[in-house]
Amino acid sequence: MNALPPDEFSEEMLAAYADGELDALDRTRVEQWLADHPEMMDELRVQRELSASNAALWDAAEPPEPNAATWAVVRQEIEAELCPLGPASGDQSRIHRVAGWLLGSLAISGVAAAIGWVAFASTLRQPAIESHKPTEVVRRPETGLETAIAPAPRLISDSPDLLAAFAVLPMSTDDDVILDRVPRLCDGCLPIGRHPVPGMLELASVDDVYLEEVNPSPAWPTSGGPKMTTAPGDAPMIFAAKPR
């Protein structure tokens, strides 16, 4: 504030002086400036009237409130601007508002329908385009057996239902299936296919087995190979279980 030359005192400086916010030095400068510029005394008077010291006065003041007649005149002027043919009644304006809403809704619906048509038109036209593609026809050589042999069922790989080609699922028979390895399971768990051992194990008799060659093993007696039977009529077997 001190840096300002006396000729550049602004209205803000003058307002601060009027409000008593300046220190002694600035106050002296403003007073000297006012002495040199007496024409600014009127401005100082205005600033003092607007001073914060009059805040209570300003707060007590109320803005002018237009009465009902004034508002009616303003309303008529607005309606005259909006409806040049004359002032509309309350019912007419309500009708106009409803009509406006209806027209707006119809316009929005039309836009939505147009967007939908554009979006789905391509998919709807696709089959029509494909139907106009030339179809390649391959003729089979006639063999004379076409009427005698029904066409074999054909699996269509791109069909979602892989079983669509079958009216009845063709099932294999017992002769079609060979069970190579069967774990211990209940009877009837395999509806098709013969168990490798369908019945009781039929053991070989003494006459059925001929021991050709046996490599030496601590499991047999030193006299030779394993003892195949323990008594006449026994089924032969190699018994090499360790004693418990």
Which spans of this chain sit near another protein (rule: CB under 8 A)?
Answer: 178-184, 195-197, 199-205, 207-217, 219, 226, 230-231, 234-242, 244
Q: Which residues of 184-203 are buried (b: 16+ CB within 10 A; e: fewer)?
A: eeeeeeeeeeeeeeeeeeee
Three-state DSSP state, 37: coil
Minimum Å distance from CB 238 to another protein? 4
Nearer to another protein by Cβ, of 73 and 214: the residue is 214
Contact present, 1 and 26 (Cβ < 8 Å): yes
Give strand pairing partners of 194.
Answer: 178
How far is Cα 236 from Cα 120, in angstroms, rounded to an integer?
83
In angstroms, the Cα distances linking 57 to 42, 43, 49, 51, 62 are: 21, 20, 10, 10, 10
Nearer to another protein by Cβ, of 60 and 231: the residue is 231
**Distance from the Cα of residue 16 to its chain's centroid:** 64
Nearer to another protein by Cβ, of 93 and 229: the residue is 229
Minimum Å distance from CB 229 to another protein? 9
Minimum Å distance from CB 170 to another protein? 20
In angstroms, the Cα distances linking 213 to 182, 209, 225, 226, 230 are: 31, 12, 8, 11, 20
How far is Cα 214 from Cα 220, in angstroms, rounded to an integer?
10
Q: What is the helix (H) or strand (E) element at residue 206, kind and residue range?
A: none
Minimum Å distance from CB 232 to another protein? 12
Minimum Å distance from CB 177 to another protein? 12
Minimum Å distance from CB 172 to another protein? 15
Minimum Å distance from CB 176 to another protein? 12
Nearer to another protein by Cβ, of 141 and 199: the residue is 199
Nearer to another protein by Cβ, of 28 and 205: the residue is 205
Nearer to another protein by Cβ, of 83 and 219: the residue is 219
Contact present, 30 and 9 (Cβ < 8 Å): yes
How far is Cα 239 from Cα 227, in angstroms, rounded to an integer?
8
Nearer to another protein by Cβ, of 41 and 214: the residue is 214
